[in-house]
Structure 1
């Protein structure tokens, strides 16, 4: 294939039509900038659950079973703390807070409840309104209140779920209690299992917070999904405000060292800005929302863009240093680097596009946007930047534009050049021994990495409970917001047993009029799995069966109806089920029945209580086994099951994308080196340091206890993309140098020339992206740490491991007796010229 004519055509356009090229790219930038205003946001956990069977079942459960799961209502929690929240004064504080919220029309309160309300009704059973309940408590003595608290604990199961686990019946005391406020939300709220980035409840709960605080109820805190949603957004914004300035400072610092010329650095920064505008403008025009996953895209574009920019300018300076003119120097530069940039872009795009195989939409969006962004980066830095550099240096010949330095990094007579050739020194002496040691380390890291945990929970998206002191002392606008969600969530988990125990739901689809329908539900509770709570040897559950049994226990007429249709006398009707259902729906038990049976009798839900200490994976596995026991179609669902399903998909996506990225990049590199050099085996050599990098990073993730979560799931594919970037520059430069020099000289010229650019790129991106570790959003911090490590590992393996790989590659492909030469543990002893193709 005669690819050179295409490269020559591109060289001509860049050099001869440089001004036209620059203007064209600026116009395209304006076009893409129009899409920046159309970018929407999508945050939180809900974006990751779309399309999963468990999530779809959960949404159907929430849609079909009302009124408890009605999609047009929302709940707010009132968390009360104190020495004794069941004392007379504390009960009145809670009731008055409820009353103030009920009186606030904008809050659309449809009902309130609390332990205080229950106690008040034990004092005065006729006290149906909050105002009447306040009067009941005000007129009661302390001993009467204590007695009412004990009666409430004995007679009302809801009471014990609303008081903390340290409730003392004897002293009628507890340190915390919950109040519940129900709001009508005309626009509806999400009924899915995930937490969205915005919520109609946010403004309502903010108003409720102000209302309660302004009344002086300092011991009562307002909490709910709307406040959680607001903090989801705030933590991302605060993280960017904190890290972006630091990243800019580091990037400018190291770019100034790499370029050592203000005008050249300005060109590089303009190109970086264009890459960001093109990518995010494309997102806006394509209607792709910005999510937490896409926070990773700007650092990636910076990493690849900085690398391309430094390489382009550094390679151009190498030619200029030899006295070559502007046009000819740029032709030589682009003739070589366009090919290298194309290889890097191809393999990097493959690495990111591997995420398109994920079943999670945010991961697919990340893969697609990252691949598009890297493609844009290739054109901007491969075409625009060289053309702009030609224009700049042409203007320098006409006008007194300051030039500070045009010396390339890593030149032969520099101290840096001597340091960079450390990998060549190893390759000269003991390449095989070094690679055997590398193989052992890589294998060990890979085996160790198999223990990486997987996580998916709301906690992945929340700030830490306490920020570092130095973060809290930052002045505006860098000071982060005050976060309460993590503290409140931890408090609820610590204080309330009801929040520690979980639930697993089975969504059953089938003709519930069929005689065996209720017996199926009842038998499913026999011999429950270990993670399910047991009551009298059966699984603790609520369903239409338990609603029927509860109604039968207090309604003689209904009990007789059940007994007439109960063939085996187990309290579960077997015949005339539609008649049984109609009786329930015409009674006061209608709402409770519709919590577990759809109105068309085509589906039902069964809710099982699970052990507090059981892991999500164990609960999910057991729930799925129970669902399989149903004859009707049954799906295990609920928050625990949905989140575990997402966690499983995250791990599956990480492994799958890693395999596809490695395989795809290897095939691409083999093919491209066959086309370019007639040496397909160079592609295999190119992949070796990438494999080492991936293994080292995966092992580091386990060592640092960083799990695969919604943000870090793509790290292995990203590492392939960035690792190939570094190794391709070395391999492609080496292949070019081998046309004119012997093996050692070619390696030496490669690491001195390309290694200098790689060092500048590595330092800039490691520090520029590494500052994400300062983010108050933990997942962003983890991503920053891992990305910086992957770049550092890619640099080290490209300059330390790859030279030895290339020496061994040369022994195998350029020798009449490759095995004999391979077993020679020493380095090369004679200059070796490449052959025309692989043996």
Structure 2
């Protein structure tokens, strides 16, 4: 066996591979996820959303520059806005800009000296950009582009504000989708380093506090952490090789993997130390440890990876890459635990005492758990069943959060300023109705305008924009004879806003926010289209449509992933064990973990998000590890001892390694609590709770189930029924 026979060569070879991935990780880039990461590529509604922005050439959200002054309609402030707009429009990627100053210039030819005329005209034509006399907005329309270029442009816009100095007493800020994306990318980088540091320190504390009672030499207590960090290096180094960025969606993989990857190394090292204390020599102890742990560790790794694989079922890119990266990290940790760690143990083992150590607090605690479980197995299973039922009920009452702005740190400057805009101007939710026609002429525009006016008469819609309305504002009516000339005279920004090929876009402004309101609005527009007999193709899209549809996607994905995870894990266990009992028994701890998580979400008011829906698959995959280790050790002991003695020895001996694994995993997830992203912080809290309950179930409910099964309790129930 290479790790035992040539430990130094093994360590050198593996270290050279790890060094390559560490070097690759130096090229890691940080970015921000977008809604494309939350929908499967074949999703029809999101494809329409993308199609709209591709056809009409705009980015989904504008950049807004906030201008504050005692009087933003004063000449010096208005001239400042015009000069700033001129510089911005020279930036590559900026389609157009609009402000109260530019609207006045376009309508009146120049900014008039009459304050009364300025105020009256701005109030009439630029109300949406002038909520108060002391507060104005410059709207920057950006063309559709890749996220990397979009963030570069956002940074350029920030620098432009510093380049064009405002008049005295004028305060200027910037916000909007592109700026928020740019600031999120910087926050992700800071967050990754923070959670990595906290997770590493937590692992050291847990290993010193718990695992030091397992090892004979205190110098070896951190060996599992070394294996874990090497696995993280491989995963992080893989990102640049695959052309992936570290975003708020996958940044959680680092602290999670730090905690998860320790499991395999801790289990192997625990068994090795047990064999050494039993009097075996180094090589023999390694051989025994590998022989007895290789299959349980493989089963634990495989079931975890299978659980993660269920995240691929909905076809959502962010979930796919999340599961892929964690799976690669876990497979790496398994391989290192069976190669690098044995070599390290052999080189570092200089002998030492082999006598048994007197029981400490941990050993006494595990002994107590075993005794309580043996004496109260039926009560424990009854409580377990109640928790699972309550958890199933709670899962149907957990709300969803689909607005990605709520995922970001609440103190991001762009987010704070955006919320300020929403306080000044009522939140606008824009529906884009895209109408297809044979050709764009006066007749089709008139018909589209009639349709727009009819739909906008609904109570939920407070305003609308259309080509027909714009032509009426410019010319007093939709020109029939000089239609082509009138269209050609429109500014490019207005033309491209309403026309793309043979398509017309109509925009409806509403305050609808909830999923129910969005569905009602969609049905109303579709009913009106049928009633007025629009004979061309059409589709409805926009930000509220995507938010409403995302709720459906999240809910269906959550159920699908949970079902697939259970089916895959049970199928794998059946094939591996060829025993229904041994395949079903480990499921009890993961069912308890999922149930506890659902109950806590309901009680704590935590909503499901694009990230949290992955928790069921993660918990199902990793929570079953503890049950597998307990079950495997029980059947090993059962070949030599009775039922109760086997349970006692299993909980006392394997319990230490399982406890170490659970606490380090919980610590990895717990590090996410300190994330500045609320969605990741909640994710860490829920996972921490689920792991603790999974540990409790593995060391109590699983042994209780084994006891009752061995005593034929279930067979008696079947006979009675």
Is TM more than 0.5 here?
yes
Shift of 1:148: 3.5
The answer (yes or no) to whether the contact 2:174–2:414 under 8 Å persists in 1 is no
Secondary structure class of the residue paired with 1:287: coil
Deviation readout 1:35-56 (Å, 9 max, x if unpaired): 4345444423244256343333
Matches within 5 A, 1:498-577: 500-509=427-436, 511-512=438-439, 519=447, 522-523=450-451, 526=454, 532-533=460-461, 541-546=464-469, 553-554=476-477, 558-559=479-480
- Between 1:502-511 and 1:327-336, the stretch displaced more is 502-511
Q: SS state of the match for residue 292, structure 1?
A: coil
- Per-residue deviation at 1:353? 0.7
2:6 is the counterpart of 1:77: no
Decide whether aligned partners of structure 1 residues 217 and 743 sit closer, same or farther in structure 2, where only a CA change above 3 A counts.
same
Q: Separation in 2 of the partners of 1:381 and 1:529?
A: 68
Distance 1:104 1:648, change over 3 A: closer
C-alpha distance in structure 2 between counterparts of 1:117 and 1:528, whole Å: 27
Q: Deviations over 1:486-514 (max 9, x none)?
A: 210110110013xx121111233463579
Partner in structure 2 of residue 64 of structure 1: 55
Q: Name 1:802's counterpart in structure 2.
A: 702
Partner of 1:819: 716
8 Å Cα contact 1:542-1:606 kept in structure 2? yes
Shift in CA distance, 313/505, structure 1 to aligned 2, threshold 3 Å: same
Change (3 A) 1:625 1:373: farther
2:179 equivalent to 1:179: no
The answer to whether the 8 Å contact 2:203/2:668 transfers is: yes
Per-residue deviation, 1:257? 2.6
Pair 1:392 & 2:348 matched: yes
Q: Deviations along 1:557-610, whole A, 9 cap, x unmatched? A: x35x5xxxxxxxxxxxxxxxxxx86465345488645533323x2x33232222
Shift of 1:352: 0.6
Query: Which TM-score applies when normalising by structure 1?
Result: 0.76
Contact kept? 1:507, 1:635, Cα under 8 Å: yes
Say if 2:72 and 2:78, in contact at 8 Å, map to a contact too.
Answer: no
- 1:688 aligned to which of 575, 588, 601: 588
For the residue of structure 2 that corresponds to 1:452, the secondary structure is coil
The one-character-per-residue Cα deviations of 1:367-420 (angstroms, maximum 9, x if unpaired) are 222222211111111332123212322xx25xxxxx6x8788xx7844422322
User: Deviations for 1:109-151, whole angstroms, at most 9, x for unmatched residues?
Assistant: 88654334556788xx342xxxxx3xx55xxxxxx42454134
More deviation in 447-456 or 195-204?
Answer: 195-204
Secondary structure class of the residue paired with 1:199: helix
Structure 1 CA distance, aligned partners of 2:89 and 2:470? 35
**1:597 corresponds to which of 499, 515, 537:** 499
Inter-partner Cα distance in structure 2 for 1:247 and 1:529 = 56
Correspondence for 2:14 among 5, 19, 25: 25
Q: CA deviation at 1:551?
A: 6.9
Higher helix share: 2
Matched, 1:428 2:374: yes
- For the pair 1:660 / 2:564, whether they are aligned, the reply is yes
SS of residue matched to 2:251: helix
Q: How does 1:161-560 map to 2 (within 5 A)?
A: 161-164=128-131, 167=132, 174-180=133-139, 189-190=144-145, 199-212=151-164, 216-260=168-212, 261-393=217-349, 396-397=350-351, 413-465=359-411, 483-497=412-426, 500-509=427-436, 511-512=438-439, 519=447, 522-523=450-451, 526=454, 532-533=460-461, 541-546=464-469, 553-554=476-477, 558-559=479-480
Verify: 1:16 aligned to 2:1, yes or no.
no
**Do the aligned residues in 2 keep the contact of 1:452 with 1:702 (CA within 8 Å)?**
yes
- CA distance change for structure 1 residues 97 and 161 in 2, over 3 Å: closer, same or farther? closer
Structure 1 550/605 Cα, relative in aligned 2: closer, same or farther at 3 Å? same
Measured at CA, do residues 730 and 508 of structure 1 come closer, stay the same or move farther in structure 2, by a change above 3 Å?
farther
Give the distance between the partners of 1:111 and 1:544, measured in 2 at CA: 17
Q: Is the 8 A contact 1:205 1:224 kept in 2?
A: no
Q: Structure 2: give runs of 5+ residues left out of the alignment.
A: none
8 Å contact kept, 1:107–1:207: no
SS at match of 1:200: helix
Q: Displacement, 1:746?
A: 0.7
Determine the structure 2 residue equivalent to 1:7: none
Any residues of structure 2 matched to 1:705-724 within 5 Å, and which?
705-724=605-624
**CA distance in structure 2 between the aligned counterparts of 1:372 and 1:14, rounded to whole angstroms:** 22
CA distance in 2, matches of 1:213, 1:306: 55
- Partner-residue secondary structure (3-state), 1:609: strand
How many corresponding residue pairs? 708
Shift of 1:823: 8.2
**Alpha carbons of structure 1 residues 822 and 435: separation in structure 2 relative to 1, 3 Å:** farther
Once the two structures are TM-superposed, the CA of residue 642 in structure 1 deviates from its matched residue by 2.0
1:772 equivalent to 2:672? Answer yes
Give the aligned partner of residue 514 of structure 2.
615
1:363 to partner: Cα distance: 1.2
Partner of 1:5: none
Name the larger-Rg structure.
1
* TM-score, normalised relative to structure 2: 0.88
Task: Give the conservation status (yes or no) of the 8 Å contact 1:505–1:638.
Answer: yes
CA offset at residue 730 of structure 1? 0.9
* Residue 123 (structure 2) aligns with: 153
- The C-alpha deviation readout for 1:412-436, integer Å capped at 9, x for no partner, is 8444223224443343233223312
Cα 1:312–1:407 shift into 2, 3 Å:
farther
Matched residue SS, 1:295: coil
Contact 2:260 2:668 in 1 (8 A): no
CA displacement 1:595-628 (0-9 Å, x = unmatched): 33323x2x33232222x15424521453266347
Q: CA RMSD in A?
A: 3.5
Specify the SS of the correspondent of 1:293: coil
Q: Could you tell me which of 73, 93, 100 is aligned with 1:115?
A: 100
CA distance in 1, matches of 2:476, 2:205: 77
